Chains A and B, each alone.
Chain A
Amino acid sequence: MTTPAIELKNVSKIYRRYGGRQFATLKSALLQRSVLRDLNPTDTFPALQDVSFTVQPGITYGVIGRNGSGKSTALKLVAGITKPTSGTVSVRGRVSALIELGAGFHPEISGRENVFINGIMLGLSKREIAERFDEIVEFAELENFIDAPVKTYSSGMYMRLGFAVAIHVDPDLLLVDEVLAVGDEGFTHKCLDKFAEFRRRGKTILLVTHSLGVVERFCDEALWLDHGRARAHGDPKRVVDAYLTAVEEGEEELLATTTARAVAAASNVAGEAPVPTAGESAAPAAPAATAAPANDEAQPEGGIQDMFLASEGRWGSREVEISKVDLLGRDGEPSFVFHSGDPMAIRLAVKAAAPVDDFVFGISLFNAEGVCCYGTNTYIEEMSPGRLDGEVSVLFEVAALDLVEGTYKIDVAVHKRDGYPYDYHRLLYTFRVKSRTHDVGIYRPAHRWSFTGTVTFSTPE
């Protein structure tokens, strides 16, 4: 077994906070006799906890994780910019870090001089830079501007030059932190090509990125960091999948709390308001009014113009009450995240205080822009009400949720045929639709492409 290019053993990094102050003043420190105290950290924040991983030479290693999960800290530790609080970091070979491109460029002096100084900072000698200078400039596509002061550069030019210098350090180990987004398409391709060239030459790359596609395509191994701990490592596809699943769970939790909060808030307001007596509506007039049965456009989804008034809320007499709303996924369990095309069901737990013979169940679905994607109710679908009594369950099933990716909210309601609301839940429930395809619009009709004649597509890598 070869010596690893990077080895982290039980590494923890604890960032220190200094007295919770932004900028201390010496004056106040002297007055409070706290100079020594202020120079010692008072609070700590663990950025990495007991993380171990090894990267063999020649491997492209991807690090993924949410913001704040410690990815960049890990990279800085490998680069030697910060030191671990405990544990050991060992790195072999010349390191070049693409962490901040063009850090240390001086705006007043020319690109040429900055290339030299930046190169020296990254560990090259003057002669080495001189040898590579033309190549650097050509790579950065700055032949015509290299003698202009860097302050006149556009941010893209600046980044390109920074990237070009860093990549031409010719490191044994390249550290890349989310820099693939520099420059235009063409330049990004050039960067990826350069990475590929690095790999061919058996160099090690440590890549921190949010672009999971790049990890899947480029990396030989991957590590997933979560809240400073290593959650998984190994085969990139598996790591990415595990990560995506966790992200979904996180979203699910978030949507669950948002929904719970919205319902609680709306219900509280309704609880405080006097319960309207029959015949008068305590609800905002607009949605109820448009729900008049004479209008073929039925109840909850009052049409576009109502969306300007739309806000979360709950109103109604509560003679019939919707006590619980669940969105059910493929497995019949309550969920908040669905995949496009999956089956989905909305289950209402309804309770009638006294038997009623005039009732309509309605459901409508809005996207994040507030556009009504679909709305219906039992009355439009020509189910004439008979009798509703006691606790019942209403299930609205969709065989395939053909929506594009996004966040959606739903209205659920039970009301009389003339629109008089028993219990109206407006935009209280939120769910998310995920999709592998990034198509656009409101609705995804089930579809298929077919071609005749000479039409071919190359399969992506």
Chain B
Amino acid sequence: MFSNLYQLLRYRGLVQSLVARELKARYRGSVLGFLWSFINPLLLLGIYSFIFTTIMPNRVEGVQPYALFMLCGILPWTWFAASLTEASGSLIAGGNLIKKVLFPAEVLPIVSVLANMVHFALALPIVVIFLVLYQHPPDLAGLIWFPVAVIVQLIFTTGLALVLAAMTVHFRDIRDILANLLMLWFFATPIIYPWSQKEMEAYRRLFNLNPFTHLAVTYQEVLFFPGPVGHWRWLLALGVASVLVFLAGYWLFDRLRDSFAEVV
């Protein structure tokens, strides 16, 4: 397993060009091309602003402007959810490669995760611009936690992506189950409501069990809230857990590897 993992390093050139291909292919033929990476979060922000200031005004103290608060959690969530959805279908979509070309299969789910990470990265400037516009500058000292959160999320997501990709080859309905599960997971994570809310108190323990809670809260603390980042202990704990998830996921993927070429 570890030799395979090491081998993966040799294929980084391939991963790189596949991610690039993925991004190019996505916008090929569209008029706005890469601008879509900026337009999507902008539109999202516009819609939320309209709803939460005009239709359903939210006046919770400390989380204004509400739309911007939500965006801080939604963007990493989108990276997470889209990665898993794409990764779960990646081996089936790339069946031709697996069957006909000597090629480490784990490259495919990893490419899904990385391509979505690039989208996430492209959307970030929008958040930063609006944070500054709303005179809501993030705490500079807290910013060092931002890359940590990204790395933890990357490891965690890749681990899950490997499991899902491998299992979906054998159980095709995982993709449908996943769509529903992600919806549930989204609402079970403090993304559209703040972690600090009074009503949350009773459920804190439960929320702590949700790994994405800690990622979402960290992003919000780093980007949105002024104060010092208080969630870093949880983040580091999640980091350790993520490495375990990744190793377990890779182990499972490696175990099922030989069946891919036959089942896909």
Contact B167 A15 (CB under 8 A): no
Contact B177 A27 (CB under 8 A): yes
B2 within 8 A of A: no
A126 within 8 A of B: yes
Q: For residues 60 through 94 of chain A, which have their beta carbon under 8 Å from a beta carbon of chain B? A: 76, 79-83
Minimum C-beta distance from A25 to chain B (A): 4
Q: When each residue 150-191 of chain B gets 1 if its CB lies under 8 Å from chain A and 0 otherwise, what string results?
A: 000000000000000001001111100100000000000000
B17 within 8 A of A: yes
A105 nearest CB neighbor, chain B only: B96
Q: Which residue among A26, A100, A109 has the maximum number of chain B CB atoms within 10 Å of its CB? A: A26
A97 within 8 A of B: yes
Among B21-29, B39-47, B65-73, B120-128, the stretch that binds chain A is B21-29
Contact B13 A106 (CB under 8 A): no
Contact A81 B13 (CB under 8 A): no
Contact A97 B101 (CB under 8 A): yes
> Which residues on A sit within 8 Å (CB–CB) of B171?
24-26, 29, 38
Q: For residues 1 through 26 of chain A, which have their beta carbon under 8 Å from a beta carbon of chain B? A: 15-16, 18, 23-26
Q: When each residue 226-264 of chain B gets 1 if its CB lies under 8 Å from chain A and 0 otherwise, what string results?
A: 000000000000000000000000000000101101110
B192 within 8 A of A: no
> Which residues on A sit within 8 Å (CB–CB) of B130?
none
Contact B17 A104 (CB under 8 A): no
B56 within 8 A of A: no
Q: Which residue of B24, B170, B173 is within 8 Å of A39 (Cβ)?
A: B170
Contact B14 A120 (CB under 8 A): yes
Contact A104 B96 (CB under 8 A): yes
A270 within 8 A of B: no
B134 within 8 A of A: no
B102 within 8 A of A: yes
CA distance A392 to B261 in the complex (A): 62
> Which residues on B sit within 8 Å (CB–CB) of A23?
172
> Which residues on B sit within 8 Å (CB–CB) of A26?
167, 171, 173-174, 177
A22 nearest CB neighbor, chain B only: B172
> Which residues on A sit within 8 Å (CB–CB) of B103?
104, 121
> Which residues on B sit within 8 Å (CB–CB) of A25?
171-173
Contact B170 A104 (CB under 8 A): no
B97 within 8 A of A: yes
A336 within 8 A of B: no
Contact A82 B170 (CB under 8 A): no
Q: How large is the interface on B (under 10, 10 to 19, 20 to 34, 35 or more residues)?
A: 20 to 34
Give the secondary structure class of B's interface.
helix
CA distance A121 to B102 in the complex (A): 8
CA distance A244 to B258 in the complex (A): 35
> Which residues on A sit within 8 Å (CB–CB) of B177?
26-27
A103 within 8 A of B: yes
A384 within 8 A of B: no
> Which residues on B sit within 8 Å (CB–CB) of A18?
170, 259, 263
A116 within 8 A of B: yes
B198 within 8 A of A: no
CA distance A408 to B79 in the complex (A): 67
CA distance A395 to B94 in the complex (A): 63
A80 nearest CB neighbor, chain B only: B102
CA distance A125 to B17 in the complex (A): 11
Contact B97 A104 (CB under 8 A): yes
Contact A121 B170 (CB under 8 A): no
B100 within 8 A of A: yes
Contact A121 B100 (CB under 8 A): no
B18 within 8 A of A: yes
Contact A117 B100 (CB under 8 A): no
A18 nearest CB neighbor, chain B only: B263
CA distance A25 to B259 in the complex (A): 17
Minimum C-beta distance from B84 to chain A (A): 15
Q: Which residue of A15, A97, A109 is within 8 Å of B262 (Cβ)?
A: A15
Q: When each residue 102-130 of chain A gets 1 if its CB lies under 8 Å from chain B and 0 otherwise, what string results?
A: 01101011000100110011100110000
> Which residues on A sit within 8 Å (CB–CB) of B18?
117
> Which residues on B sit within 8 Å (CB–CB) of A328?
none
> Which residues on A sit within 8 Å (CB–CB) of B100?
81, 97, 99-100, 103
CA distance A82 to B260 in the complex (A): 10
Contact B96 A103 (CB under 8 A): yes
A114 nearest CB neighbor, chain B only: B21
> Which residues on A sit within 8 Å (CB–CB) of B99?
81, 100, 103
Contact B13 A103 (CB under 8 A): no
CA distance A126 to B174 in the complex (A): 37
Q: Which residue of A95, A100, A120 is within 8 Å of B17 (Cβ)?
A: A120
> Which residues on B sit within 8 Å (CB–CB) of A341?
none
A149 within 8 A of B: yes
CA distance A25 to B17 in the complex (A): 33
Q: Which residue among B29, B167, B170, B173 has the maximum number of chain A CB atoms within 10 Å of its CB? A: B170
Q: When each residue 260-282 of chain A gets 1 if its CB lies under 8 Å from chain B and 0 otherwise, what string results?
A: 00000000000000000000000
CA distance A97 to B170 in the complex (A): 27
> Which residues on A sit within 8 Å (CB–CB) of B17?
116-117, 120, 126
CA distance A433 to B74 in the complex (A): 73
Q: For residues 3 through 60 of chain B, which have their beta carbon under 8 Å from a beta carbon of chain A? A: 13-14, 17-18, 21, 24-25, 28-29
Q: When each residue 148-161 of chain A gets 1 if its CB lies under 8 Å from chain B and 0 otherwise, what string results?
A: 01000000000000
CA distance A293 to B144 in the complex (A): 108
Contact A109 B28 (CB under 8 A): yes
CA distance A23 to B96 in the complex (A): 18
Q: For residues 398 through 420 of chain A, which have their beta carbon under 8 Å from a beta carbon of chain B? A: none
CA distance A217 to B65 in the complex (A): 78
CA distance A132 to B18 in the complex (A): 20
10 shortest interchain CB distances as A-B pairs: A100-B100, A26-B171, A108-B25, A25-B173, A103-B100, A23-B172, A108-B28, A104-B97, A103-B96, A80-B102
Jot down 30 A-B pairs with beta carbons below 8 A, ordered by A. Answer: A15-B262, A18-B170, A23-B172, A24-B172, A25-B171, A25-B173, A26-B167, A26-B171, A26-B177, A39-B259, A81-B101, A81-B261, A82-B262, A83-B258, A95-B102, A97-B101, A97-B102, A100-B96, A100-B100, A100-B101, A103-B100, A104-B96, A104-B97, A104-B101, A104-B103, A108-B25, A117-B18, A121-B14, A121-B97, A149-B28
Q: Can you name 17 extra interface pairs (CB under 8 A) apart from A26-B177, A81-B261, A83-B258?
A: A26-B173, A27-B177, A38-B170, A39-B256, A41-B259, A79-B102, A81-B102, A82-B261, A100-B101, A104-B94, A106-B25, A109-B21, A117-B14, A117-B18, A120-B13, A121-B14, A121-B103
